[in-house]
Structure 1
């Protein structure tokens, strides 16, 4: 395998930028023969001449110009790496890679992540949706900065990560006008026997709903179970059954899907967490998400 000697590349880059070995020698505090030798070694490794003489100056060859562009990118990226590690502004957008568990409603995900895009520092957000366990595996490999999910890390998860509660709220029940509910019975009794679209088994919300149904002696007629939080609302819009949404976004869901609010309860809680590799949040985008969630969205 061929390896590039970055010391040689650095000396070449400084000489090309300064226009002469003499000026590069002053900046690098190295003897001119040392720099000349390093550049010859780079030319031999590449098999190409990088400079030609024009009077008392060195001029880049065609290949030299190509190498200089690459070197410029490499050393600019190196400075950015140091700035990022030391917490200094880099001038480039902050890359913020977020995993969103498929059980998290899209409206919730949007409201949680929106503050990251409002930072003074430019942010380039990358969102990936998947099952929570697969996203957490990616977090463990440092491929994600944060995972948004509806449950904290389980005790059996063998990864070094931390759960940060973003907030909690009650839930609202919504249905299309075509869904028939007994008008003589008040909420929540009117839900007994009603067609229901429920989140998949094993989710936190599904378990909480089943416990609440039991305590209220409600027996829903389950007509569909869904992993995807958006798909369940599309079926609800078509009149397939009652759907459940976090109360903090009931108005958005009602308006977007032409549903009506049947009722709400705080006895069933939806909780949302940011899972990160940091015990104390340092990433400015993650910090913005957590701060706005706790003070405004769920505050």
Structure 2
């Protein structure tokens, strides 16, 4: 097995950061042709192409993303020689997670809890729209996308959707009132609801329509963190999975008035088949996967 040439690795890292041979060559003060030869030598040593060309830019392959992670770790170890004497952490593994903006922060925290605080792990958590996050997953910029819905597989994008959890949905509120009668007490009741774009809202709208009641909608919110704040600060009822307002329920600031029959919130982990899967990913998915609804 050929020894790894660290000069080649340093050049590769510069190319990955700049996104082009010319940019990296300018930064390193070497000829682009010489840099190209060094990159090819590293690819030959590793046995995999590290970039694919997209116009004039170079895009990391899956092997390239893994090589960059290791390169960053390797070159951090020089700093670790000094850092260790100061009691600081050694080099870390990196896990990149994307979460749709509508996903409960409490759920994310619980899922990633086993990795939080580990000195050998660096967590990168990004929030955004599903399409944006899936594009980053396909480009090897993320290891996992957390979503409330699975993604269908097709020949072009063979998404893998693992059910991580399935939780009941409740009506919660501040008011201390008599026993809540569902669905009768929803008629005319002020409510804070998820946005109409969510599957949860669609199911709820169908339920109240079939029951012949019409709540009074005060706000429609597509961010669960903001919905939690509205539930806490407004006199309205809120439709949420209890995990979203876990702390408020525990403190008594909010009450769970009833579990909405037939409604559940699902949590999925979406990945793509990788030849070189992130070793941290398996532990997260194994800990988070659920086969039964959870309270």
TM-score with structure 1 length normalisation? 0.62
| Cα shift at 1:161 | 2.4
Instruction: Look up the match of 1:25.
Output: none
- Residues 107-127 of structure 1 show CA distances to partners (whole Å, capped at 9, x for unaligned) of 1111112123377x8211011
Instruction: Look up the match of 2:145.
Output: 147
Structure 1 or 2, whichever has the larger Rg, is 1
**Is the aligned partner of 1:187 residue 2:186?**
no
Instruction: Look up the match of 1:226.
Output: 221
TM-score with structure 2 length normalisation? 0.63
SS in 1 for 2:227: helix
- Residues 91-115 of structure 1 show CA distances to partners (whole Å, capped at 9, x for unaligned) of 7321011111111111111111212
| Cα shift at 1:220 | 1.5
| Cα shift at 1:289 | 2.3
8 Å CA contact 1:140, 1:160 repeated in 2:
no
Instruction: Look up the match of 2:82.
Output: none
Distance 1:172 1:7, change over 3 A: closer
- Residues 250-299 of structure 1 show CA distances to partners (whole Å, capped at 9, x for unaligned) of 54342468211111134101001001113799533322222222359956
8 Å CA contact 2:104, 2:224 repeated in 1:
yes
From 165, 168, 180, the counterpart of 2:166: 168
Alignment map for 1:1-299 (pairs within 5 Å): 77=71, 92-117=91-116, 122-154=120-152, 159-177=157-175, 183=178, 186-248=181-243, 251-255=246-250, 258-278=253-273, 282-294=277-289
Q: Distance in 2 between matches of 1:93 and 1:296?
A: 32
Distance 1:235 1:257, change over 3 A: farther
Q: Distance in 2 between matches of 1:161 and 1:255?
A: 37
CA-based RMSD = 3.6
| Cα shift at 1:174 | 0.7
Q: Distance in 2 between matches of 1:256 and 1:280?
A: 46
8 Å CA contact 1:175, 1:243 repeated in 2:
yes
8 Å CA contact 1:248, 1:298 repeated in 2:
no
Distance 1:238 1:160, change over 3 A: same
SS in 2 for 1:152: coil
Structure 1: which 5+ runs fail to align?
1-5, 11-44, 47-73, 82-90
Count how many residue pairs are aligned between Structure 1 and Structure 2: 219
- Residues 156-205 of structure 1 show CA distances to partners (whole Å, capped at 9, x for unaligned) of 89534211111212111111228xx6x47623322222111111121111
